[in-house]
Structure 1
Amino acid sequence: MAFLWSRAGNVSAVDLDEGYRPSPDEPFMNDRQLAYFRAKLLDWKEAILKESAGTLQQLQIDSLREPDLTDRASSETDWSIELRTRDRQRKLISKIDAALRRIEEGEYGYCEVTGEPISLGRLEARPIATMTLEAQERHERNEKVSREE
């Protein structure tokens, strides 16, 4: 059972079978699809937060007091990489939150550039997608041209 919240604050229960996957044979972004993607986004966010909490605990447990300078440098490099990863995941959480807001506002699954539906396959692979594949490719080409100028 999954729950959806509407803009008006109404809660509706949506029954999702365990093996449910959105299908192009059903109406696009119906309640079941929205509940599916909402649950997928929330699970992803929860996994990132758990991993981050584990990193913080590990940072507190492991001190950088290795007597050997080489070992210490290696540890500092490892933690630097880990912290950069956590920073990227922090940014990812804000994108997940934005996708959850789009679900609540009824805008999820539609391209922010063209207004066309984003393919279910793309949303399955990248549930935070805000553009169709074509619009994303066009955007990246324009970005590349801008950088080269």
Structure 2
Amino acid sequence: MNHNDLEFFRALLTKMLEDAQQKGDSTLENMTDSNEIFADPADRATAESDRAFTLRIRDRERRLIRKIQAALQRIDDGTFGVCDECGKDVSIERLKARPVTRLCINCKARQEANEHLHGDF
């Protein structure tokens, strides 16, 4: 991978990181106070369901932030775009589609097939 490619992915990942952090901050700001009192149990259940959903979204955002930070670190240490399993280059097309990926398409397909076969999904 050449210098221009690495700079493209650094800029893309940095933008993704900023967006994810901003979404995470707004998610936390929009969460309702858990001390609200509800006269109707159905309203309480709906509020708790909404809160659980919001927390799941926040958890996904948090995990994405960690993956983006790890990808940026791989750019810095020279391992970005190299498959963790086979050591071959990950295609530019795959990296554009999923810049945080650590596996080439062949290793990812094999991993998913094994998960499906063993029910580890």
Q: CA deviation at 1:145?
A: 3.4
The corresponding residue for 1:91 is 63
The answer to whether residue 20 in structure 2 is matched with residue 48 in structure 1 is yes
Whichever structure has more strand as a proportion of its residues is 1
1:75-90 equivalence runs, <5 A: 75-90=47-62
The TM-score, its normalising length taken from structure 1, stands at 0.72
Aligned to 1:122: 94
Give the drift of 1:143. 3.0
Aligned-pair identity (%): 38
Give, in whole Å, the separation in 1 of the partners of 2:91 and 2:51. Answer: 38
Instruction: Return the offset for 1:91.
Output: 1.1
Corresponding residue for residue 112 of structure 2 = 140
**AA aligned opposite 2:82:** Y
Counterpart selection for 2:39 from 67, 70, 73: 67
**Structure with the larger helix share:** 2
Contact 2:90 2:103 in 1 (8 A): yes
Q: Residue in 1 aligned with 2:84?
A: 112
Higher relative CO (Cα under 8 Å, sequence separation at least 6) belongs to 2
Alignment partner of 1:117: what SS?
A: coil
Q: CA RMSD in A?
A: 1.9
Distance 1:63 1:36, change over 3 A: farther
Q: Deviations over 1:81-123 (max 9, x none)?
A: 1101111111111111111111001110111111111111111
Contact 2:32 2:51 in 1 (8 A): no
| Higher Cα Rg, which structure | 1
Number of residues paired by the alignment? 120
Taking structure 2 as the reference length, the TM-score comes to 0.87
